[in-house]
Structures are given as C-alpha cells and as structure tokens.
Amino acid sequence: MIAGVFVGGAGTRMGGRAKGLLRAPDGSPIVERWHTILGALGVEMFLVGTSDAYAHLGLEVVADSPGGIGPLGGLIALLRRAGAKPALALACDMPFVSPALVQRLMRAEPAPVVAPRRDGRWEPLLARYEPSAVLALALSRVGARDHSLQSLLEAAGAVELPLIGQEADELRDWDAPEDLSLAGVAFRFAQ
C-alpha cells in the first residue's frame, strides 16, 4: 500500500500559504504528522501536487496529471504511481486523523474505493482506492469534464467506512483561519 498526501491546493483562504505546513495540535506540521503516522504503519508516503513550500522536507513529489483540474488530477497521478498497489489519498489539512482510523481504512474489506461519509458526502481525500478499478473511470471523467470526486466515488461503487465513536471529529479540516479558531489552535505555520 502507498499513500499520497494532497498538497497541490492554492490555499487562498489561508493567504496562499501551504496548509500542510500548519502546525497540528501536537506542534508538528500536518504533513510531517502524516509522515510519522504512515511510517509507523509501514506505508510509503509521497506528496501529490507541486508546491515549493514543501521542498525542504525531501519527500517524493508526484505532480497532478493532468494539472489544472483540481483534486481529480492529483488522484489520477496517485493511481498511476500506485500501479497494482492499493492507494490511500489523504488531505494535507486534516490534523486530527488518528492512526487507528487510518488502520481501519487500510484493513477494510476490498472495494474499488473505501471512504467515510460526513453529512452525506464522501471524504475522497481520506480514502483507499484500488487503481485497477478506478483509474480508467477517473481518466474518462477528464474527457467528459466531470472533475467531481463525489460523482467519481458514486460511479466507482465506493463503500462507506462507518465512523466509530468520535471519529467524525477526526475528519475536521483546516480550510480557513476560522477553522483553527474553532479548534482553539493558534494560526501557526512551520518555518
């Protein structure tokens, strides 16, 4: 299994700053937190999307392919890079996801896509994908100009990973400064 942490967004609501470099409540940048969690689980991790802000981390980077179409381009790049291995797609702005939730996602029954749902919507960037079942469908979406990951998961026959206990709280992401305020966290980026 491999994992791609999606870092290609512009972060406009964060003033153009790289959201993956925000410091999680434990003090580490979110991307480094992902690296620690995945390393402990024996999962190879790389970054999906290009941003010079992450160069100092020395992690492998896979550019969106094609670029300019949002997360779908990143997902296609991840699935191509994965080959025959299952692939985890992870958002760079989720600072609360526990190793236990990642393990449950990894160990879920085989399916084209496994992902939790929140408020009736899939979490496509906390999901496990089978490249052989999803890549061709994702590529067909590029030509059809349907770049929605929600509709891709529906069309792929995604299976829901039920959330247990407080796991729904782990899915909170940091899209804007007010998200950090709601979490009681200072707006701090790694240097």
Q: pLDDT tens across 119-177, in order?
A: 899 999 999 999 999 999 999 999 888 899 999 999 999 999 999 999 999 998 866 55
Instruction: Say if CB 138 and CB 70 are below 8 A apart.
Output: no
Give CA–CA dist 3/95, Å, rounded: 16
Q: Most distant CA pair in the chain: distance in Å?
A: 43
Q: Under the phi-then-psi rule, with left for phi > 0, alpha for psi from -120 to 50, and beta for the rest, what region is 42?
A: left
Smallest Cα–Cα separation from 105: which of 77, 81, 129? 129
Task: Report the predicted TM-score, pTM, of the whole model to 2 decimal places.
Answer: 0.89
Which pair of tokens denotes residue 179? 């998200």
Length, in residues, of the chain: 191
Say which residue the tokens 């779908």 belong to. Answer: 72
Domains of the chain: 2-182 (3.90.550.10)
> Residue 27 has what pLDDT?
87
Lowest mean pLDDT, pick from 53-57, 132-136, 180-184: 180-184
> How much of the chain exceeds pLDDT 90, in percent?
70
φ, ψ of residue 5 to 5 degrees: the values are -95, 120
Cβ partners under 8 Å of residue 76, min gap 6: 64, 65, 66, 135, 138, 139, 142
Q: pLDDT tens across 9-24, in order?
A: 655 554 556 778 888 8
Q: What angle do CA 132, 34, 52 make, to 5 degrees?
A: 90
Give CA–CA dist 189/169, Å, rounded: 22
Instruction: Say if CB 115 and CB 160 are below 8 A apart.
Output: yes
